Amino acid sequence: MGVHWAGWAVPALVTVVGGWMLFDGLHALLTGDFVTPDSGTHAGRLGPWAHLVPGVGLDPRSLPVKAVFVGYAVLYLASGAAFAAGTAGAWWALVIAAACGLWYLPFGTVANLVVLVVLFLPSLRVRG
């Protein structure tokens, strides 16, 4: 029988969230700003996550926030790849990384919650 759906769902979600954050963070570092809508009621506005960042004293468009996007994305993608490869300790690394990404409202929050729930299924719990 093939790989259980949970065995590929976690790496897929990590790739989507981590991949987007890496792209968006690199885009922000190279062009000066994150990807935002060009038109409509949300034109030029960052996502809801940007309302949380000032709470820790940072401007959402600051260099440190852009660097956090890139750094977090690299670590998240690496832990997802290590988990997919069955590397020892990767389950814990991915649990920590997914928990640390819950601030990324709205999509990252939902996707990371799903990752956490799936990681705690008996078929994946403390695997590797």
Q: In the chain, where are the structural domains located?
A: 5-119
> Is 73 in contact with 21 (CB distance < 8 Å)?
yes
What pLDDT, on a 0 to 100 scale, did the predictor assign at position 125?
67
Distance CA 102, CA 77 (A): 15
Contact 3, 117 (CB under 8 A): no
Pair 34, 24: CB distance under 8 Å: yes
Torsion angle defined by CA atoms of residues 100, 67, 47 and 10, in that order, rounded to the nearest 10 degrees: -40
Q: What is the pTM of this model?
A: 0.89
Give the whole-angstrom CA distance, residue 18 versus residue 32.
20
Q: Residue 57: what pLDDT?
A: 96
Cα–Cα distance measured from residue 85 to residue 95, given in angstroms and rounded to the nearest whole number: 16
List the pLDDT tens digit at each of the 128 positions of the chain.
445 677 788 999 999 999 999 999 999 999 999 999 999 998 999 999 999 999 999 999 999 999 999 999 999 999 999 999 989 999 999 999 999 999 999 999 999 999 999 999 877 666 54
Take residue 34 and report the two structure tokens written for it: 């994150």
